[in-house]
Structure 1
Amino acid sequence: MAKKDQQKEMSVEEKLRALYDLQLIDSRLDEIRNTRGELPLEVEDLSDDVAQMETRIHKIDDEIKELDGEIKLKKEAIKNSEALMKKYTKQQDNVRNNREFDSLAKEVEYQELEIQLSEKRIKEFNAKIDHKKQIQEEINTKLDSMKSHLDHKKSELDAIIKETEKEEAFLIKKSEEFSGILDERLFKAYTRIRSNMKNGLAVVPVHRDASVGSFFTIPPQRQMDIAQRKKIISDEHSGRILVDGELAQEEKEKIEALLKG
């Protein structure tokens, strides 16, 4: 039979039972997820921190490679300057006048200055590399500690998930089944009310003349209307859907039996 036909044939009482069944199942899902506490967020945050640190280490690696490249260029420049010095010194032996000799001497002096400048730059680059390696070492120490902490948190979370995954999968399936038999308008109302409640309770029974979790007394006539199950009634203070205690107990026993399998 089509879902639409099933919904049309559902009585108000059947809708109330389906709503409360859905509430019981979703509440149990909430309990399971609450046992994980802040662990999923902690794992996510730690994973992000580890990724950021690894990115920073790779960036420092690239910076060190760049500095090594600069050192290599400066060493090549020194070699070129030394070669030119030899060339100009040799040419001084064959000059015809003092002017040529002085010109070559200036070229030799210029190359000496170039070598000194390159050596100074190499020193600076090496100092930067040492500093970056020191930072990298500190980050690596922190990263190892963070990875160890992340592994511990992941193991902790995995253990909790493994312990409840079978029940959670079953509950999700049942939640989909019960929500599927409700008409769209009613399911949307349930979802909206549930999202507005800190404890996620959208459907609650009447207990001791008040809805569960409320201190406001429900008038006797309204309690009678709720017990008759002829229409869907909401709590005027919280907006939650109300069911009578007897129906709630019957459905609670039914769902408990279902979960025990």
Structure 2
Amino acid sequence: MKITESILETNKKQKEFYNNIRQNFSTKIWANFRNGLLNQIRKSIGIQDQAYLLHKEWFGDLSHKKVLDLGCYSGNYWSLYLAENSKDYLGIDLSDVAIAKLNERLKPFPNAKAEAVDFLSSDFADKDYDLIYAYGVLHHFENTDILIDKLNDKLALKGEIISYDPLETSLPIKIIRTLYRPFQSDAAWEWPFTKKTFYQFQKAFVIKERRGLLGKSKWVAFLDILPISANKKKIIGQKWHQHDWDESLASDSVMFSCMHLTMLMQKR
């Protein structure tokens, strides 16, 4: 599928944004909610650690794998681990400022490097990756068909993708996002997964495993208004999260009630 000039121009604007982050008021409000309250919920009931550990399990033996760390900025939670343990590692991001920082961190690893390049552009010609790690990245592409074509082009035979992205399939979250989106400074490259997006990936790849996060557990914050102890709130939150985690493996309805989705996908 042809990559249009408008997509590449949007990515240039995205590069400028992340090189000189300037969030407007509404974007800052959402960021504070996401990085404040939601992070507090994730940490208090162990959601984030569980997702990271699952990703490490999904990596498997990296010693023979060529790895692409897609949209890694200056390094995500697992970037240095991937760089140290994989046969070949490349981290890419639009931001040359962030990539310069990552290259400094990669100096101890001779088989690792980072490049500031647009994944969709012809400037990025490398391929045959055994693993593409895309943490918080795939939802930055508005055109899912073009993204899927490019992912398939870059993967080796039976290559895998590990993704982690926001969903807007929960009605309350969709309403909130719809209300603030017109005022959002990064709206042009923020496209949380819809049901259609998920089914596009499901059709294009073999989804070997998936987990939803922040379904029932996203309502833990409202327990603060009840006269219960912090420990009791934590126990309830962990129970709700485990329900999200376990049931989203097979139930679309539970998965779509969640705010985040992580997947292990394999090239068909």
Q: Write 1 or 2 for the structure with the bigger share of helix.
A: 1
Q: TM-score range by the shorter chain?
A: under 0.3
* Structure index of larger Rg: 1
Identify the structure with bigger relative contact order (alpha carbons < 8 Å, sequence gap 6+).
1
